[in-house]
């Protein structure tokens, strides 16, 4: 919460930039409650950054399709969506100057660029700004006030507060105070026309976008795949939730998912494993990025990992590939190439393979800093859930030992945990995975096989 005098005659704005949904959205509900209390109109404001952290047409298309659905839901609740384009912080300052709001509510996000946006806005607007964590079940600043170094230290903190925050989210009610004159706003075609992104990475068609699609995906997972979730480390098994793009863009919340699991009376080992990934691991990723501003640099690795990587920095590499070779899956390893093809073709990668994929980038790059850069670039370029705290922490785990411990010392890796093709072969049918994802072969997502 940031200070400033309340202009009680002005409207309330909800600056939406992480939780893109009208349902189960604590920040939106807080803004609506404040607007009803003050007796003033409420609007949701969104500013599209024409470029954003290596996002391509693939991610923008998925996101904007979902936002159009959310705009319709907001309109049904008498809440307009104001669309702008440009630098989000500058545009929000400009909009606040125009509307003199009584209050601005906004989403919590620990990424550096988002923290800078918030600092700019709070430094220039005259009204209070309330930051609401609608992404985590336990708000990040309550879960821990410091960086947690392992899941085993963070898990008790989450479970200590979990039931306190797992309250039923009230539905969004129609807002009683209409705008006398709507502020200027772009339409969606105009918004899309202002994109300045790489259009060579095309949208994928396997996931529909939006809040309704997110709930349909959850329903299918709980009915058809959750029972097999224990096999999730086998990338040939279709047992994962497929919820990561929807969670990344805030089209559904982990809060709502956990409540739905409870409502259906689901329990057992696989449910516990899923909730561990959904809640503990995802919220640990937010903790990492919040308390590690250099989360995408090797300086963000734990000290033991930095030391061991430095000792082995000049170890001979069996292969060294450049950006283009990694990008085009032109390595000597058919398994790694298949994983990269899956990422390029479908916008996602099996979780176990994403670990192998990142660790091999470390093994085949000139140095750890270069490996980290390449892994983040490829992930953010192709993955629907790129530019996410989960991605940064997962890559940092793979390359820099974040949330892990030291293992047996090896060339290049030092005491960072390594992975091998032989280890993969002990866990799943590697040949089947390669066959599935090598171009020209059948795909799990046939409609998205254009590379």
Which of 85-90's residues contact partners 24+ apart within 8 Å by CB, and which partners?
A: 85/47, 85/48, 85/50, 85/186, 85/190, 85/191, 85/194, 86/47, 86/49, 86/50, 87/47, 87/49, 88/17, 88/47, 88/49, 88/117, 89/116, 89/117, 89/118, 89/120, 89/121, 90/120
- The residues facing 106 across adjacent strands are 15, 131
Class (C level, CATH) for 136-170+210-291: mainly alpha
Spell out the domain ranges in the chain. 1-134, 136-170+210-291, 294-444
Q: Return d(Cα 223, Cα 225) in angstroms, integer.
A: 6
Closest by CA to 61, choosing from 217, 205, 242, is 205
At the fourth CATH level, the homologous superfamily of domain 294-444 is DNA Cyclobutane Dipyrimidine Photolyase, subunit A, domain 3 (1.10.579.10)
Q: Phi then psi for 416, rounded to 5 degrees? A: -70, 140
Sheet containing strand 129-132, strands side by side: 81-85, 42-48, 12-15, 103-107, 129-132
Q: What's the pLDDT at 404?
A: 97
Strand, helix or coil at 215? helix
Exposure string of 85-104, with b = 16+ CB inside 10 Å and e = fewer, is beebbebbbebbeebebbbb
Q: What's the pLDDT at 205?
A: 86
Alpha-helix runs per DSSP H in 77-150: 88-99, 112-124, 140-143
- The residues facing 85 across adjacent strands are 48
Q: Phi then psi for 20, rounded to 5 degrees? A: -90, 75
- Three-state secondary structure readout of 340-363: HHHHHHHCCCCHHHHHHHHHHHHH
- Do the Cβ atoms of 381 and 58 come closer than 8 Å? no
| Helices and strands (H and E) in the chain: how many | 20, 5
Using left for φ > 0, alpha for ψ between -120 and 50, and beta otherwise, residue 378 falls in alpha
Pairing of strands 12-15, 42-48: parallel
Four-way CATH pick for 1-134: 3.30.70.20, 3.20.20.140, 3.40.50.300, 3.40.50.620? 3.40.50.620
Would you write out the chain's pLDDT as a tens digit for each of its 451 residues?
A: 554 445 567 999 999 999 999 999 999 999 999 999 999 999 999 999 999 988 999 999 999 999 999 999 999 999 999 999 999 999 999 999 999 999 999 999 999 999 999 999 999 999 999 999 999 999 999 999 999 999 999 999 999 999 999 999 999 999 999 998 888 899 999 999 999 999 999 999 888 999 999 999 999 999 999 999 999 999 999 999 999 999 999 999 999 999 999 999 999 999 999 999 999 999 999 999 999 999 999 999 999 999 999 999 999 999 999 999 999 999 999 999 999 999 999 999 989 999 999 999 999 999 999 999 999 999 999 999 999 999 999 999 999 999 999 999 999 999 999 999 999 999 999 999 999 999 875 444 433 332 2
The contacts of residue 439 (CB under 8 Å, 6+ apart) are 341, 449, 451
End-to-end CA distance of the chain: 46
Closest by CA to 157, choosing from 185, 172, 174, 138, is 138
Q: What's the pLDDT at 235?
A: 96
Q: What's the pLDDT at 448?
A: 38
Q: pTM for the whole thing?
A: 0.94
- Do the Cβ atoms of 130 and 52 come closer than 8 Å? no
Alpha-helix runs per DSSP H in 174-281: 188-193, 211-220, 244-248, 254-263, 269-275
Exposure string of 187-214, with b = 16+ CB inside 10 Å and e = fewer, is eeeebeeebebeeebebbebbebbbebb
- Do the Cβ atoms of 167 and 46 come closer than 8 Å? no
Place of tokens 């479970």: 159
């Amino acid at each position: 919460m940031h200070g400033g005098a309340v202009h009680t005659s002005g409207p309330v704005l909800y600056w939406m930039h992480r939780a893109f949904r009208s349902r189960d959205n604590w920040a939106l509900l807080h803004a609506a409650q404040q607007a009803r209390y003050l007796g003033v109109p409420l609007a949701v404001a969104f500013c599209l950054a024409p470029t954003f952290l290596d996002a391509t047409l693939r991610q923008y298309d998925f996101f904007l399709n979902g936002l159009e659905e959310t705009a319709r839901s907001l309109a049904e609740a008498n809440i307009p969506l104001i669309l702008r384009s440009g630098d989000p912080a500058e545009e929000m300052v400009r909009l606040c100057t125009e509307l003199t709001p009584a209050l601005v509510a906004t989403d919590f996000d620990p990424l550096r660029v988002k923290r800078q946006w918030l600092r700019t806005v709070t430094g220039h607007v005259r009204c209070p700004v309330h930051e609401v964590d609608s992404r985590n079940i336990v708000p990040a600043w309550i879960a821990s006030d410091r960086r947690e170094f392992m899941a085993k230290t963070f898990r008790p903190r989450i479970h200590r507060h979990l039931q306190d925050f797992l309250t039923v989210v009230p539905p969004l009610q129609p807002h009683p105070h209409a705008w006398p004159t709507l502020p200027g706003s772009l339409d969606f075609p105009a918004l899309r026309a202002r994109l300045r992104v790489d259009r060579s990475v095309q949208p994928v068609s396997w996931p529909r976008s939006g809040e309704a699609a997110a709930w349909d995906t959850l329903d299918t997972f709980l009915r058809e795949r959750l029972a097999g979730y224990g096999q999730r480390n086998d990338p040939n098994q279709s047992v994962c939730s497929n919820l990561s793009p929807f969670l990344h863009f805030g089209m559904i919340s982990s809060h709502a998912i956990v409540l739905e699991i409870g409502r259906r009376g689901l329990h057992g080992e696989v449910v516990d494993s899923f909730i561990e990934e959904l809640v503990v691991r995802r919220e640990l990723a937010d903790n990492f990025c919040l308390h590690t501003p250099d989360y995408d640099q090797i300086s963000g690795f734990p000290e033991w990992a930095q030391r061991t990587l430095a000792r082995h920095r000049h170890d001979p590499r069996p292969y060294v590939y450049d950006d283009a070779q990694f990008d085009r899956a032109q390595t000597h390893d058919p398994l790694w190439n298949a994983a990269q093809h899956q990422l390029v073709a479908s916008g996602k990668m099996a979780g176990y393979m994403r670990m192998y994929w990142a660790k091999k980038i470390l093994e085949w790059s000139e140095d750890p800093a270069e490996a980290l850069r390449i892994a983040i670039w490829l992930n953010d370029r192709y993955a629907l859930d790129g530019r996410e705290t989960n991605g940064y922490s997962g890559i940092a785990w793979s390359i820099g030992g974040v949330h892990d411990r030291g293992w047996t010392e090896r060339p290049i890796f030092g005491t960072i945990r390594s992975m091998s093709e032989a280890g993969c072969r002990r866990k799943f049918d590697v040949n089947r995975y390669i066959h599935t994802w090598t171009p020209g072969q059948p795909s799990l997502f046939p409609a998205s096989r254009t590379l």
